[in-house]
Chain A
């Protein structure tokens, strides 16, 4: 149900772009208006979400410590997994964001003849890493469409990405990797019973959407060739705020663009915001030094306590009898 809903939602999106451009000739709507709206929602929504998180304070110093604390000088501290300095936190966060270190630690717990065994479980990490990095590289590669002259580093990335020198036009490895990784991430949600149990429509939808984006991109690069000069003209028009609709680009491009727009607009409303959220996660981005430096809670307020005086009043007789010193005789 959740899977079908998400699947047909993406199909409906594709069809609406197809009919909108092919039948209703709404090139300007799909090529200019919707992209602008989507980019605006993405940027403003992203900022709004991050600011909203940021508006809630971090009242306590709560890093998840994953190694030895800073202690006596002769005890070796794990300065990354249990950082007591900002440098340690920076490295911890960098490893988290760049190579998904926590996910790398993943284990598979199995019960075999009454014994629990913990095995390696790197597929999720590998697929996640492949997915995010290939997505990033593809994203960066697209900048050649938005810049008059393609910068050197984009050329380098594109060159490396196609170094296998297969096919015409040259096959980008990241295209294959992205499609493969998305497929894996989808299949594990279908075939691993626990993962299927926890999955929501909001988990399938972005996978279908991204698959649709990647597939339409691949189709238009390798199979239904679109008018690439026209595409660049349109892209340049968008960034220079002088939108134009060149003729004869091909409907597959509009489908691709429309799905990207949906992704952008959906992004701030969804779990995809983990991209911004991971940087704010207090269990990862805090220094474990709360015994050395007092952490301040901005909403700390005085509380009602049972004072020593009240305690002694309750027990003075018993205390004296037991030879415990008291304040008032």
Chain B
């Protein structure tokens, strides 16, 4: 069906930012190859009882829509205007000052003017004006209103699956207009018509039935964990025995399933295992709540809540006291801003207290869920870990703030503190590309498929460009982060734009530096590569 994505980096980085002469309302979306994902398969939508479940392709003329699709969308807009003040307000108050225009990674990397957040929003606003405002009904196009035609629907679909809900535009907007909120609504509307992409619908169906996006069944989780445990034994001489679905454990640990599946996420998982073992932490993994991430968030509010429900339900069933969450971006947006509201109150849990340091995690006293970077930073601050950062001396590390943890939570300095304690060479990227101004990996919100590589490489261009800067100036060779999607997507992004930089989760680096009780002299890092100065021992 598709050709291979072959564009070279120097072709892709020639970007024309000049918008066309013709206005955006008069230019229907052109579905360019490698910029969009495949349509959701009927079977995946059926699993979660979504409407209009059928196999379809965005590339084909006929999208197999229900007869009354227009009515469904307009009804859907009306419903959401009544449910979300954010949506209603953001439909009304934009003054089109353009401050957001060059803040979006897709616009910076691609130059398509409809990827300026303001236009992406206008695509939907124009429909809103036509059907929900007096001026739009009366004056039509001159009032910025247009009818919801099939072309408009397709355009909405195309561009709402070219937004990663990263919120960078909302940092710069004088009214805080957040395209992520508008995209979320836009995608909900698409889902009313069965217009999800399969890269989201598949993981959602998996997560619903099997507990995690990757569809790892319980025995697969334990057996893949065996591989990590063997590797850890090879590296340290210590055999770790984690527990699964164990009742009465003090802590439930939930992390994205990506950490159990493919490197470099798997090295991060090894780091968690080693840390918890060294602490003698009374904790358990769960095969039912085996997903921290939530592709439901990229589908609809309701779907996200349905998937998220497993975490508290499992904590309750197992009778744990509180929960630690692993490294993941949108997972933490959900935990910080949605979980308690959806599925709380978690009054069957206790306010989290570190059993090692006695520190009370006051900022998590209602959700009862602590970020592992907070947990580890507290351990280090209290001198509870023996660390040998020189074991990471082969790495010149830079730090990527993930969109969601930066702009939907604000966990910025905890991971940096950990990083500074576990490695000796840490260099920040330029200040306009980190912290709240960080750039998306270009593949978030379920856009990390393989058929949209042009979009992904363009979207990740600003991030890669900043990494290139620290590589060229400081010899950086490792891009660390706390996000499973980053670990999966930045690897491809680096291979494309900055080939000699690798990607690691924070706790992989912790695992390298952690001096464990009774360990043998280490000669390898968690990737089974020789440690600096230990090459001869191999």
Q: Which residues of A contact B (CB under 8 A)?
A: 2, 5, 49, 52-62, 64-72, 74-76, 78, 81-82, 84, 96, 100, 102-103, 105-109, 111, 114-116, 118, 124, 128, 192-203, 269-271, 273-274, 277-278, 280-284, 288-297, 299-300, 303-308, 311-312, 314-315, 318-319, 321-325
Contacts and interface: CB of A to CB of B under 8 A. Distances in A.
Among B49, B244, B337, residue most surrounded by chain A Cβ atoms (within 10 Å): B337
A324 B287 CA distance: 9
Given A116-B462, A198-B119, A65 B340 contact: no
B309 interface: yes
A198 B97 CA distance: 9
Contacts of A106: 99, 172
B85 A53 contact: yes
A299 B83 contact: yes
Interface of B: 10, 13, 15, 17-19, 23-24, 49, 81-89, 92-99, 101-103, 108, 113, 116, 118-119, 122, 134-135, 142-144, 167, 170-178, 181, 208-211, 217-219, 222-223, 244-247, 287-288, 301-302, 305-306, 309-310, 313-314, 317, 335-338, 340-342, 344-345, 359, 361-367, 369, 374, 377-378, 381, 406-414, 417, 430, 432-433, 435-437, 461-462, 465-466, 468-469
B288 A311 contact: yes
A76 B417 CA distance: 12
A107 B340 CA distance: 36
Given A274-B94, A283-B170, 8 more contacts: A56-B85, A67-B410, A71-B374, A109-B462, A198-B98, A277-B92, A314-B210, A315-B218
Nearest to B16: A111
Contacts of A303: 302, 305-306, 309
Given A56-B84, A118-B432, A281-B175, A199 B96 contact: yes
Contacts of B174: 96, 100, 102-103, 128, 278
B193 to A, nearest CB: 20
Contacts of A105: 171-172, 437
A324 B245 contact: yes
B176 A294 contact: no
Contact of A322 (B218, B359, B361, B408): B218
A77 to B, nearest CB: 8
A277 B175 contact: yes
Contact of B83 (A5, A59, A76, A111): A59
Contacts of A107: 102-103, 172, 432, 437
A299 B361 CA distance: 30
A202 B143 contact: yes
A323 B175 contact: no
B135 A103 contact: no
9 smallest beta-carbon distances between A and B, as pairs:
A69-B410, A277-B93, A65-B410, A283-B176, A322-B219, A118-B432, A197-B19, A284-B176, A109-B102
A52 B105 CA distance: 34
Contacts of B413: 68, 71, 75-76
Contact of A290 (B99, B118, B306, B340): B340
22 contacts: A52-B88, A54-B85, A58-B85, A69-B363, A69-B410, A102-B176, A103-B99, A194-B113, A197-B23, A201-B144, A202-B135, A202-B143, A278-B93, A281-B86, A281-B89, A281-B175, A283-B177, A290-B340, A291-B369, A308-B317, A318-B219, A319-B245
Nearest to B86: A282
B178 A64 contact: yes
Contacts of B97: 103, 124, 128, 195
B85 A278 contact: no
A292 B364 contact: yes
Contacts of B17: 111, 193-194
Contacts of B313: 305, 307-308
A290 B172 CA distance: 23
Contacts of A273: 92-93
A277 to B, nearest CB: 4
B222 A72 contact: no
A318 B337 contact: no
A294 B341 contact: yes
Nearest to B304: A303
A270 B134 CA distance: 10
A281 B305 CA distance: 24
Contact of A64 (B89, B122, B171, B247): B171
B175 A278 contact: yes
A251 B15 CA distance: 54
B523 to A, nearest CB: 32
B246 A198 contact: no
Contacts of B436: 65-67, 81
B519 to A, nearest CB: 26
Among B82, B96, B113, residue most surrounded by chain A Cβ atoms (within 10 Å): B96
Contacts of B417: 75
A321 B338 CA distance: 36
A55 B338 CA distance: 21
Nearest to A266: B135
Given A65-B408, A297-B341, A59 B317 contact: no
A291 B366 contact: yes
Contacts of B377: 72, 75
Given A106-B99, A271-B92, A280-B89, A72 B374 contact: yes
Nearest to B24: A197
A81 B436 CA distance: 10
Contacts of B462: 109, 116
B168 to A, nearest CB: 9
Given A53-B89, A109-B103, A314-B209, A69 B341 contact: no
A292 B101 contact: no
B365 A292 contact: yes
A304 B98 contact: no
Contacts of A57: 83-85
A271 B95 CA distance: 6
A55 B89 CA distance: 11
A193 B21 CA distance: 9
Contacts of A116: 108, 461-462, 465-466
A60 B180 CA distance: 13
B400 to A, nearest CB: 16
A46 to B, nearest CB: 13
Given A283-B86, A300-B342, A291 B218 contact: no
B102 A194 contact: yes
Given A274-B175, A283-B86, A294-B366, A118 B433 contact: yes
A318 B409 contact: no
A54 to B, nearest CB: 7
B171 A102 contact: yes
A61 B410 CA distance: 14
A103 B142 contact: no
Contacts of A103: 97, 99, 172, 174
